[in-house]
Amino acid sequence: ATALFTAATPHLVIMLVLLTGGFFRSLQFTSLNALAIADIDQGGLSLATSFSAVAQQVALSLGVAVAALALEASQAARGSDVLATVDFAAAFVTIAAVSAASALVFVQLPVDAGEGVSGHAAGARPAPRPGDHQ
């Protein structure tokens, strides 16, 4: 959606798109962080959490590098020395494609991935909610 922004795009639309994107990114990072340590025993949690944080930072750095490369490639393809709006659109589309490709990894997860942390594991009892009587 950000690739479609122009100078005429209303500020409210831009804010809503960015707010929605931020919400879903936050939801995704929370889910992925939970899945990353779901099957780690108590003794390995510290190492797993550290490794996951480093992997996440490396992935973010690679994303920035890929976006910069897409900007430069688009600019070079146009034969210009100055960045234009179309170059940013190309970078956004490139990053969207890379992000969408991650789905190929996620579809390979077992159906029961994350059940241990979701409370849906076989035999798991959900935590009592306030107001529940035993």
Q: pTM for the full model? A: 0.70
Dump pLDDT digits (tens) for 73-84: 999 999 999 999
Average pLDDT over residues 55-65: 92
Q: Is 74 exposed, middle or buried (0-12, 13-18, 19+ CB in 10 A)?
A: buried
DSSP at 121: S
Task: State yes or no: pLDDT of 65 exceeds 90.
Answer: yes
pLDDT tier at 38, thresholds 50, 70, 90: confident
Distance between CA atoms of residues 100 and 47, nearest Å: 28
Q: What is the pLDDT of residue 109?
A: 84
Average pLDDT over residues 9-24: 95
Task: State yes or no: pLDDT of 69 exceeds 70.
Answer: yes
Query: Hunting for tokens 């479609």 — which residue is that?
Result: 4
